[in-house]
Amino acid sequence: MGINIDEVHGIVEIKSDVFVSERVRISGVGTGVAYASGDAFGSVLTFEVPKKGIISNVIFIDVDDEGIQKDLIIFPRYFTPTPDNDPFNVTDEFTQLALGWVRILDFMDLNNSQIGKATPALDYEAPEGRLYCQLITRGADNIAAGSLPYIFLTIR
């Protein structure tokens, strides 16, 4: 049985269990240096999240206006990251712990910046209430000083 919209008056509140992480600045990115496709992009990203959920969106705020694909590798616990601007490479042990990855391919150009979005629908369990991640670039980034990107997650 549905709602008859003609009988609804006033404010209608729609509730859902949506969690939006903090916007995390991608630290460790070398500015003014060229990256190659497949390089680690920045250092470890840590997101405080519910212990279980589904990552429904990943948003990449590209203030440097490059619009280059990024892959986000996700782990349920801390891992030894690849140094920034080196070819991404984690140990087999950490690869086996990975929860998955998200490809950020879809960018909206806003003239002086871009917003990248992925909609992975990726289930996860994070016993510590944290997800640990690292980005891999799939192009030749060259980030200007003062233009470090941000990233955040939407979880259901």
Per-residue pLDDT of the chain (156 residues; tens, 9 = 90+): 455 656 666 665 656 789 999 999 999 999 999 999 999 999 999 999 999 999 999 999 999 999 999 999 999 999 999 999 999 999 999 999 999 999 999 999 999 999 999 999 999 999 999 999 999 999 999 999 999 999 999 999
Q: In this structure, is residue 110 part of a structural domain?
A: yes
Q: In this structure, is residue 82 part of a structural domain?
A: yes
Q: Tell me the whole-structure pTM to 2 decimals.
A: 0.88
Question: What residue numbers bound the domain in which 115 lies?
Answer: 33-155
Q: In this structure, is residue 14 part of a structural domain?
A: no
Q: Which residues contact 27 (CB under 8 A, 6 or more apart)?
A: 42, 43, 148
Q: In this structure, is residue 144 part of a structural domain?
A: yes
Q: How many CB atoms lie within 10 A of CB 40?
A: 24
In 3D space, the residue among 129, 117, 125 whose CA is nearest the CA of residue 54 turns out to be 125
Please state the domain count of the chain.
Answer: 1
Q: In this structure, is residue 5 part of a structural domain?
A: no
Q: In this structure, is residue 42 part of a structural domain?
A: yes
Alpha carbon dihedral 51, 54, 2, 15, in 10-degree steps, equals 50
Q: In this structure, is residue 15 part of a structural domain?
A: no
Q: In this structure, is residue 129 part of a structural domain?
A: yes
**DSSP designation for 39:** B
